[in-house]
């Protein structure tokens, strides 16, 4: 939480909706400060136990003790392969919870019953309704409106306290998604119609969850059905094409047959920025290796003083450009931590 003050911003404070996992993590820290209990312990006592959610866990290690836990998958070189299963210990308060369809149904019923479970009030109706009603307008267009501009299927999209709120074909919906490599989850409920939908998939390579809940709503309400299978294919084609264009653009911008000006040993060291955790470059078997939190990655030369770092968890690569001082000594590097920001400078210490 102390580091947040050092983060650069792309918009003035409180003027634009921008999702930020860090502040969910901060909320979990606040719970621990106020209650004197660990975040997982608090949620277990106050939410999971009263709702009888017996198959909801805070670590992948706990999940794997179960007899029937799902294996995670990803697409690699046009093949479906098993995905690395990470334990996101640092992401408490921002996901990192594994559950089942049955347990999530209990959670959605809790919301549909306005904070009550088996007739007993767990959260006051006034407080839980505050988490259902719009607070921050989302100005970005819905993918449905992009594909169906004349129908304007989705209206009034906004963010609430942990939910996205919108009007879909005249019906009020609250939903939220969560995902990382190998899995995706969407929880959705229609508060005025007492309908709850929860979708869990063991891959992130499909847009299934993001369109299936709309299709289910159409079926339940007897609405004229939209061809969401075609929409899903259109979206995935667009995602893959954009990814390919980014890769082609990156390759086009890469200057071939260049060399770095220093010995690899000169890049070894610890680098830090006040807003981020420090990280370290090492040399192993004459190869540059970087430890970035839960990531340990081999570093490959890109061009000149720029190197490429692959982050397997997110299936992306980032570029790190080393800088020298006037004496020719490597004294830092720059990494673009957010697409909308200029690269941040990390000082070598």
Q: What is the pLDDT of residues 279-308, one digit of tens each?
A: 999 999 999 999 987 778 889 999 999 999
Is the pLDDT score of 141 beyond 70? no
* Radius of gyration for the chain, computed over Cα atoms and rounded to the nearest angstrom: 23
- Nearest Cα to Cα of residue 147 among 219, 227, 208: 227
pLDDT value for 77: 82
In this predicted structure, the answer to whether residue 346 has a pLDDT above a threshold of 90 is yes
**HSE-CB for 336 with a 13 A CA cutoff:** 12
Q: Look at 316 and 278; give whichever has higher pLDDT.
A: 278
Q: What is the pLDDT of residue 172?
A: 94
What count of Cα atoms within 13 Å lies in the side-chain half-sphere of residue 188? 22
How does strand 183-190 pair with strand 195-201? Answer: antiparallel
Checking 318-327 for CB contacts under 8 A at 24+ apart, the result is 320/290, 322/260, 322/262, 322/267, 324/261, 324/262
- What is the Cα–Cα distance from 320 to 344, expressed in whole angstroms? 10
Domains belonging to the chain, first-starting first, are 4-245 (3.40.710.10), 264-348 (2.40.128.600)
How far apart are the C-alpha atoms of 343 and 334, rounded to whole Å?
A: 5
Task: Quote the pTM value.
Answer: 0.87
Mean pLDDT of 254-258: 94
Average pLDDT, the chain: 90
pLDDT surpasses 80 at 342: yes
In this predicted model, what pLDDT tens digit does every residue of 29-64 receive, in sequence order? 999 999 999 999 999 999 999 999 999 999 888 998
User: At residue 90, does pLDDT exceed 70?
Assistant: no
Q: Which residue has the tokens 């979708």?
A: 199
Q: Tell me 277's DSSP state.
A: -
Work out the average pLDDT over 55-83. Answer: 90
């Amino acid at each position: 939480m102390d580091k947040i003050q050092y983060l650069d911003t792309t918009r003035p404070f409180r003027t634009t909706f921008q999702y930020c996992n860090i502040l969910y993590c901060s909320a979990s820290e606040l719970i621990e400060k106020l209650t004197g209990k660990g975040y997982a312990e608090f949620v277990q006592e106050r939410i999971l136990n009263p709702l009888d959610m017996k198959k909801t866990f805070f670590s992948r290690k706990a999940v794997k003790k179960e007899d029937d836990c799902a294996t995670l998958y990803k697409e690699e070189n046009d093949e479906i392969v098993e995905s690395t299963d990470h334990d996101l210990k640092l992401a408490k308060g921002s996901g990192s919870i594994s559950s089942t369809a049955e347990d999530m149904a209990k959670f959605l019923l809790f919301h549909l019953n306005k904070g009550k479970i088996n007739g007993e009030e767990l959260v006051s109706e006034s407080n839980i309704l505050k988490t259902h009603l719009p607070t921050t307008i989302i100005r970005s267009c819905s993918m449905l409106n992009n594909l169906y501009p004349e129908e304007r299927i989705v209206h009034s999209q906004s963010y609430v306290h942990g939910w996205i709120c919108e009007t879909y074909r005249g019906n009020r919906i609250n939903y939220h998604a969560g995902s990382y490599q190998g899995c995706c989850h969407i929880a959705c409920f229609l508060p005025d119609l007492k309908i709850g939908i929860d979708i869990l998939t063991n891959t992130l390579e499909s847009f299934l969850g993001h369109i299936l809940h709309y299709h289910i709503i159409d079926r339940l309400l007897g609405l004229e059905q939209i061809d969401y299978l075609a929409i899903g294919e259109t979206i995935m084609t667009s995602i893959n094409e954009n990814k390919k264009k980014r890769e082609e653009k990156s390759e086009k911008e890469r200057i071939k047959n260049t060399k770095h000006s220093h010995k690899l040993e000169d890049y070894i060291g610890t680098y830090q920025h006040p807003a981020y955790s420090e990280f370290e470059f090492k040399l192993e078997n004459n190869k540059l290796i970087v430890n970035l939190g839960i990531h340990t990655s081999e570093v490959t030369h890109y061009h000149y003083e720029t190197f490429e770092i692959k982050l397997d968890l997110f299936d992306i690569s980032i570029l790190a450009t080393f800088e020298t001082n006037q004496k020719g000594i490597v004294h830092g590097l720059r990494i673009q931590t957010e697409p909308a920001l200029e690269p941040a400078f990390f000082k070598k210490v």
